[in-house]
Amino acid sequence: MKTPSLWFRKTFLFVTAASGLLGSFWVSPSVFAAKNEAKPEGRMATYKLRPMDLIKIQVFQEAELDRELRVSQDQTIVVPLIGVVNVKDRSIRETELLITELYQRDYLVNPQINITVIDYSQRTINVLGAVNAPGSVLIPPEKTITLLDAIARSGGFSRLANRNKVSLTRTKADGQTANYVIDADQLVSGDTNNRSPVQDGDVIFVPERIL
């Protein structure tokens, strides 16, 4: 038997080593599929729809049913075939599941619904009194802000602000008006009793100190 040439042995060793190296980096396609299937839902899925939000509804492989819809003041939308759908207090994901159920009940087999928000309705707070830039403050879409956040977005307290007696006026769902007096210094120092987020339509008033 002939002894393999030096070139052949070197080539064989190189190919063997390369194969081992590639094997250490090769990942089964099923791993990637598992990762995609486990992809977590974004924060948008938990966003609760509001009046005047503009949404896009897409039905997989049923393009004629795709629509851009504005949520009405009474928090309903009109969906093709289904008709009026109440979305009050429903998140995007909850609305997707509801429409899926309604389509599946009478019209489609295993429908796949996707909803995205194209244009968010504006949520505003009025911050008045002893702040450096009084006026309206926008609440960013899909976020909540606290009383201190709202004041910071209004330029912060002025030097004459009475930080211990900040008033918050809120119109509740039943139309009643509630008034709260908040010690902002306690919030800064870590008091957790008054850290609930401010809401659309709230009015914050910072009085001046009596010199």
pLDDT tens digit sequence for 84-132:
999 999 999 999 999 999 999 999 999 999 999 999 999 999 999 999 9
Q: Quick check: 168 pLDDT over 90?
A: yes
Q: Is the pTM of this model over 0.75?
A: no
Task: Return the pLDDT at 42.
Answer: 52
Indicate the residue type of 85: V
Question: Would you state the pLDDT for residue 33?
Answer: 36
Strand 123-129 to 135-139 pairing? antiparallel
Give yes or no for a contact between 55 and 115, defined as CB atoms under 8 angstroms apart.
yes
CB burial string 168-194: b at 16+ within 10 A, e below: bebeeeeeeeeeeebbbeebeeeeeeb
pLDDT at res. 195: 58
Angle at 58 between CA 55 and CA 62, to 5 degrees: 150
Rounded Cα distance between 87 and 70, Å, is: 11
- For the chain, the domains span 43-119, 123-206
Instruction: Classify 52 in phi/psi space as left (phi over 0), alpha (psi -120 to 50) or beta.
Output: left
CATH of domain 43-119: 3.30.1950.10
Q: Which two tokens stand for residue 8?
A: 């052949």
Would you state the pLDDT for residue 172? Answer: 84
User: What is the pLDDT averaged over residues 176-184?
Assistant: 92
pLDDT (average), residues 1-22 = 44
CATH topology of domain 123-206: Outer membrane lipoprotein wza fold like (3.10.560)
